A = this chain, B = another copy of it.
Amino acid sequence: MTSSPRCSAAAERGVSAQELAQQFDGEVIGAPERRGYRLAPLHRAGDGDIVFVANERHRAQLVHSAAGIVLLPADLGPIEDRVADRCTQVRVANPHAAFAVLSARFSNRRHFAPGIDAGAWVHPQAVVDPSACVCAGARVGAGSQIAAEAYVGAGALVAERVRIGAGSYLSPGCVVLQDVVIGAAVLIQPGAVLGADGFGFAADAGEWIKVEHFGSVIVGDRVEIGANTTVDRGALDDTVIGEGVKIDNLVHVAHNVVIGAHTAIAGCVGIAGSARIGRHCAIGGGAGILGHLEIADHVTIHAMTLVTHSITQPGHYASGVPQQEARAWNRTLAALRRLGRRGIQ
């Protein structure tokens, strides 16, 4: 196993303001040869650091920052002279996106040595690309394929006939069960489980008979699956996670759910079986979505909302109740119960 350094080579060489402007089609104001070696938050940036300002509100903090290079929106007004004097501005269309792209360059995620560690168990009938890496304690089952430049972290468990696309990254301790198909450039965080059985049982005389699951999980390109999140396999059809979908930690995606491309799902969400969620949706933390319903594209669900029926129109939906001081809340609850008993005239 290779010991990856904390900082990437890019970080060692640094990047100049001029290079940043070229990469992001922006404009330099100030010294173009100034170099940044680290990404930093505004409040503790120094001379060799690159920061970003996303918007007008964010910008107020810039005056207290000693950053060497700042990525700013092209359309933001001029900054104070005393700030402009000490740092180089790079004006770009989308500073946050530029910062995100830079973060990959400064990251050491891709810096692993290819090869199969002596402590890994790779089935003779598995195919691992020579440029891929399989770490100690990882297991790759028969018939599985690990594509070019993919990474299977320590203790990651890949069962039979799994396909892992090029450049995908399986963090330590994740589990990918039989027949799951994972696209390219996918990132699976630790402890995530893809392809466990869905929760399907037939009732028979007061007991439950298990329905074995023959569907799989299909994960599109550039998906991220959070730590300890579970995505169950479908019963007969597949569970499908569209390309570019981002799922946070401890999310439960039940069998036969379909999630449209580029939808983002925050932590602790539960999605019941056969729900269909549109593209470009945003699901707030702790929300619950019942099964066998549909959510249109471009729908935003607020935190801790319970979705009990389909949503056909884009927009914002909610049912979460903000906290109150407990005695006030108890009065509200009492009034609510009286209201339920009487109705309201």
Residues of A participating in the B interface, judged by any CB pair closer than 8 Å: 1, 3-4, 6, 38-41, 44, 94, 96-97, 99-101, 103-104, 106-107, 109, 119, 121, 123, 125, 135-137, 139, 141-143, 153-155, 157, 159-161, 171-173, 175, 177-179, 187, 189-191, 193, 196-197, 199, 201-204, 206-212, 214, 222, 224, 226-228, 230, 232, 235-237, 244, 246, 248-250, 252, 254, 262, 264, 266-268, 270, 272, 280, 285-286, 288, 290, 300-309, 311, 315-344
Residues of B within 8 A of A327 (CB): 316
Other-chain residue from B41, B104, B157, B196 in contact with A227 (beta carbon distance below 8 A): B196
A40 to chain B minimum Cβ distance, whole angstroms, is 6
Residues of B within 8 A of A125 (CB): 3
A313 to chain B minimum Cβ distance, whole angstroms, is 8
Let me know if B175 and A100 touch, CB within 8 A: no
Central interface residue in A228, A237, A337, by most chain B CB within 10 Å: A228
Q: Identify 6 new A-B residue pairs, CB closer than 8 A, beyond the known A155-B155, A317-B325.
A: A6-B178, A189-B197, A227-B230, A311-B323, A319-B323, A342-B344
A214 to chain B minimum Cβ distance, whole angstroms, is 6
Provide the bound-state CA to CA distance between A338 and B301, in Å.
22
Other-chain residue from B171, B286, B320, B326 in contact with A316 (beta carbon distance below 8 A): B326
Other-chain residue from B119, B136, B178, B322 in contact with A333 (beta carbon distance below 8 A): B322
Other-chain residue from B157, B203, B337 in contact with A332 (beta carbon distance below 8 A): B337
Other-chain residue from B96, B161, B321, B334 in contact with A6 (beta carbon distance below 8 A): B161
Provide the bound-state CA to CA distance between A44 and B215, in Å.
13
Let me know if A331 and B343 touch, CB within 8 A: yes
Let me know if A175 and B159 touch, CB within 8 A: no
Residues of B within 8 A of A123 (CB): 1, 3
Provide the bound-state CA to CA distance between A42 and B267, in Å.
34
Residues of B within 8 A of A119 (CB): 121, 139
A318 to chain B minimum Cβ distance, whole angstroms, is 4
Beta-carbon nearest neighbor of A290 in chain B? B303
Let me know if A4 and B210 touch, CB within 8 A: no
Let me know if B344 and A323 touch, CB within 8 A: no
Residues of B within 8 A of A6 (CB): 160-161, 178-179
Let me know if A254 and B228 touch, CB within 8 A: no
Let me know if B157 and A157 touch, CB within 8 A: no
Provide the bound-state CA to CA distance between A307 and B329, in Å.
13
Given the known interface contacts A177-B172, A228-B193, A338-B344, the answer about A121 and B100 at a Cβ–Cβ threshold of 8 Å is: no
Let me know if B224 and A210 touch, CB within 8 A: yes
Provide the bound-state CA to CA distance between A159 and B250, in Å.
21
Let me know if B136 and A39 touch, CB within 8 A: no
Residues of B within 8 A of A334 (CB): 343
